[in-house]
Amino acid sequence: MHASLSFDQAPPISVPYRFFLVAPWFGVMAGILLAWSGSDAFVSRWTPEALALTHLIALGFMLQAMCGALFQFIPVAVGGNVWRPKLVANTVQPLLLLATLLLVAGFLFSRPGLLSAAVPFFLLALGGFVMVVALALWRTPATGMTLWAMRMAIGGLAVTVLLGSLLAEALAYGLAVPIVELTNVHLVWGLGGWALMLLAGVSYHVVPMFQLTKPYPLWFTRWFGPLLLLLLLAWSLRLFLDLSRWSMLVTLPLLAILSVYAGLTLWLQYTRRRKIHDATSLYFRVAMVSMLILAISGAAFVLWPALGADPRSVVWLGILAFAGVFVSAISGMMYKIVPFLNWLHLQRLGGPISAVPNMKKMIPAEAMTGQLRLHVLAVVLLLAAVWQPGLTRLAGLTLAASCAWLGWNLVGSVRRYQGFRDQIRAAA
């Protein structure tokens, strides 16, 4: 199952875990914020609540989990040597946490000073992280499209953070920049150039391995990343040229390649020989179905401008992207990675192999599938709340509950690791 992984350089278990364990609680905060703000939050993408929620998920949930996963994935899957992972993680993670809370507070309380205060912390945390990771990704002798996708993704993160910082300073100091266009460019680099690029690159490697599917076809892995990058660059031209009449020529191909990635992943799952229905596979299915719905509804909004003109249409797309695609895919990945890391690190303690419990004992299967069902309910309620604002509070509470359950499952798994570790040490 783990034939193409090498664990010699794996970082200490605390490195990925310090990121994984905080991520779900940002989802809880997002849910509580939504329940507290009620029906106003989804009126348009520009409400203080919508901007705060966006970054609670983008930076608190997604970025924390993705940084933790990269610390683990780079040495293990692409043989990259990350410099002093423990030191870097111990510095980056708290800085990122602080920066995220400042930014979110700045949005929520409409205090541009707080947005600006967050910027140096982001630049320090993510500048350091990007440098260390980029060095590891460039120096590795490995080859392949997963590696290239990861290199492009880390570049995408750098662009997102720089544009986000510029936006924050522009709002704080009233700089003369085109805020709306800059935000539109920042968000496609954040969601496309960073998050989707990384998800796709990691999928090439882990979907066949964890979900026992055939590999992605070569034509797809060769073209998806470069084409996505090209379309993001074309989209960014709107900062310099008036492309309003041509934007369809970029938006529709962008949505088309999303559908190809999602459709292909679902097809690979459907045609695999052994049908496993564990939480990871199901979560990936939810993520890919959400991506297909996002692509279809996005295309409908472009082709029928009267539909797309409703300010709630972008909120609908945002919920599909954040809660439907990325929170689902990341939760599914954590349910695979965490039990495996427990098992791996217990095995390395040097006790008798029979003392190391099976991976299935790390998080009970029913707890994972129960949590997944609650998450799906949360996504459905969030989407419904866009058009039926009366449902907003219920949607927020359901999101908070499902993220708390995810966090609890991960904490339980770490507790089990500690228990087994102490038993093995005592026996040795």
The footprint of ligand HEM (CB under 6 A) covers 45, 50-51, 54-55, 58-59, 63, 103, 115, 118-119, 122, 160-161, 164-165, 167-168, 171, 179, 183, 186-187, 190-191, 194
Q: Which is nearer to ligand HEM, 13 or 254 (CB)?
A: 254
Q: Are 103 and 50 in contact (CB under 8 A)?
A: no
Q: Which is nearer to ligand HEM, 33 or 282 (CB)?
A: 33
Q: How far is the CB of 132 from ligand HEM (least distance, A)?
A: 17
Nearer to ligand HEM by Cβ, of 172 and 410: the residue is: 172
Q: What angle do CA 193, 196, 201 make, to 5 degrees?
A: 100
| Nearest residue (CB) to ligand HEM, 153 versus 391 | 153
* CA pair distance 377, 348, nearest whole angstrom: 39
Collapsing DSSP to helix, strand or coil, 349 comes out as coil
Q: Which amino acid appears at position 168 of this protein? A: A
Rounded to a whole number of angstroms, the minimum distance from the CB of residue 56 to ligand HEM is 11
> Which single residue is written with the structure tokens 């300010």?
311
In the complex, what is the shortest distance from the CB of residue 54 to ligand HEM, in angstroms, rounded to a whole number? 4
- The DSSP element (H or E) to which 385 belongs, if any, is helix 365-387
CB of residue 187 to ligand HEM, shortest distance in Å: 4
Tell me how far, at minimum, the Cβ of 188 lies from ligand HEM, in Å: 9
Q: Which is nearer to ligand HEM, 13 or 167 (CB)?
A: 167
* Among 132, 97, 81, CA closest to 19: 97
> What amino acid occupies position 299?
A
Question: What does each C-alpha distance from 414 to 215, 342, 348, 357, 428 come to in angstroms?
Answer: 32, 8, 16, 14, 21
User: Which residue's CB is nearer to ligand HEM, number 70 or number 424?
Assistant: 70
DSSP-assigned states of every residue in 99-143: HHHHHHHHHHTT-HHHHHHHHHHHHHHHHHHHHHHHHHHHH----
CB of 126 to ligand HEM, least distance (A): 7
